[in-house]
Amino acid sequence: MHVAMIGTGYVGLVSGVCFADFGHHVVCVDKDAAKIAALKRGEMPIYEPGLADLVAANARAGRLTFTTDLKGPVAEAEAVFIAVGTPSRRGDGHADLSFVYDAAREIAAALSGFTVVITKSTVPVGTGDEVERILRQVRPDADVAVVSNPEFLREGAAIQDFKHPDRIVVGTDDERGRDVMNELYRPLYLNQAPIIVTSRRTAELIKYAANAFLATKITFINEIAELAERVGADVQHVARGIGLDNRIGGKFLHAGPGFGGSCFPKDTVALAKTAQDYDAPLRLVETTITVNNARKRAMARKVASALGGEVRGRTISVLGLTFKPNTDDMREAPSIPLITALQDMGAKVRAYDPAGMAQAKAVLADVTYCENPYVCAENADVLVLVTEWEEFRALDFDRLKMTMARPVVVDLRNVYRPDEMARRGFDYVSVGRPKTTTS
C-alpha cells in the first residue's frame, strides 16, 4: 500500500518507518527542509533507540523516502496520515490545531482517487469532523474517508511500542476506511494486537482519556510519596503493595519529580478545556494538572533543603535533563523548572545528559554543560539525579565523593537505596522514603 506521512517528528518518523518495515511504500513529508535534508543523508533528527538502523534498512529497500513536497506522495497514496504537532495554544491551553488544519487544506488540494485521510496526531473530539469539512470544502469532488487512529507509542521505546502495541484504535464508520486500516495494520493483528474499531469521536476521546488516566496515576503516587515522607513510610513499598493488585497494576506508580514530556502536560490541559466547553468538567484531571505543576516547582525547595536552605553561590550538579531516559526530548521536562528555580535562588548549575544537551541548550541558559557525570560533579555541593538514564544506575560514588565539595545526593527517581548511600558516606534525599545522613 502507498502511504504518505505528513509530519516527520517523533510520531510521523517512527510510524512511517514501521509501516515501511511492514512492507508498505511510505513517503515521509515535512515542512522542515533541514530535517528532510538530514534524513536523506541518513542522519536522525531525534534520538530514539534503533531508529537509525531501521530507517537505513527501509530506505535501502526502496520502501521509505523523504520529501518536503506533499503533492506527489498524497496523489499516489491510498492512506495519508496527519502526524503534525498539536501543541498547547498560547493563552487558553486548548490544543492548537492550526498545523492539522493547514495540513488538511494542503492534502485536499492534492487528493486523487479514493483516499483515506487518517489523523494520528492527538486531537480533541470533533477534529476529525472539521478535517472532513475542510477536505470537502476545498475538494467537493474528492472521494475520501477521514479516520481517527491515535498513537500510543512512548518515546524511548517507540519502535517496540509501535510494533507490539497493547491495542490499535481505529475510529470510523466508513467501511472502505476500515478496510484500508485493516490492510495497513495486518502484520500487527496477525500478531494478535487487538484492534478496537469505534466511532471517530470515541477514538479521539480514548487517546485523551488514556493520557489523563496515566497522568493521574503518576500524580496519585507522587502525593502518596509526599505523605510517606511525613509519616516515615516508604513509597516504593506502598507502590509495590498496591501495584501487585491486578485491579491497580504496577506501571506508572513510580514516584518522582512530576510528569513532563511532549504529551501529558498539554493533553491533560486540552482535555480539561474540552470538558469545560461541554459543561462536563473533569475535576480529577484539573486537580492532577494543578498538583503536578506545584510538584515540579517544589523539587527546587527539596534540593534547597538538602543544602540546609543555603543555595546562593552553591554549585549544583544535575544529572539527566530530558523528561525521561532514552530520548533527547526536553519538552516540559521537570529539569527546566528545577534548574531555573535554583538559578533564581542564586545557585550555579552544572549539568550532564547522555542525549539531551543540544536540546537543553535552547531552553536553559547559564548552565555549564559537562561531558560526563564525574566532570559534572566537580566541586558540587549537591548532586541531583533528575532523569534515570541507565548510565546513572551504577555511578562510582567513591570517585564522586572525591570530586564533590560535599557528599550530598538528591535522587528524584529513587534509583539508589538509602541504606547503601549512607554506607557510602552520603547525605541522601530521595522521594517518599526516609532521608539518610552520615552524621
In the complex, which residues of this chain contact ligand NAD (CB under 6 A)? 6-12, 29-32, 35, 83-86, 99, 102-103, 106, 121-122, 151, 153, 155, 262-263
Our CA dihedral for 103, 22, 214, 233, rounded to 10 degrees, sits at -140
Shortest Å, Cβ 159 to ligand NAD: 12
Nearer residue to ligand NAD within complex by CB, 121 or 359: 121
Nearer residue to ligand NAD within complex by CB, 85 or 418: 85
Nearer residue to ligand NAD within complex by CB, 123 or 255: 123
CA 351/CA 360 separation, integer angstroms: 10
From the list 18, 263, 370, 376, the catalytic residue is 263
Shortest Å, Cβ 409 to ligand NAD: 30
Please report, for residues 346, 360, 391, the alpha-carbon distance to residue 316 in angstroms, rounded to integers and kept in the order given.
10, 16, 19
Q: Give the nearest residue (CB) to ligand NAD.
A: 9
Strand pairing category for 64-67 and 144-148: unpaired
Nearer residue to ligand NAD within complex by CB, 317 or 359: 359
Shortest Å, Cβ 222 to ligand NAD: 21
Please check whether residue 282 is in contact with residue 269, taking contact to mean a CB–CB distance below 8 angstroms: no
Cα maximum dimension of the chain? 79
- Burial code (b: 16+ CB inside 10 Å, e: under 16) for 105-131 equals ebbbebbeeebbbbbbbbbbbebbebb
Please report, for residues 20, 48, 80, 182, 283, the alpha-carbon distance to residue 53 in angstroms, rounded to integers and kept in the order given.
13, 11, 24, 27, 45
Q: Is 167 helix (H, G, I), strand (E, B) or coil?
A: coil
Shortest Å, Cβ 393 to ligand NAD: 23
Shortest Å, Cβ 234 to ligand NAD: 31
CA 203/CA 197 separation, integer angstroms: 8
Please check whether residue 255 is in contact with residue 429, taking contact to mean a CB–CB distance below 8 angstroms: no
Question: Does residue 263 have an active-site annotation?
Answer: yes
Task: List active site positions.
Answer: 263
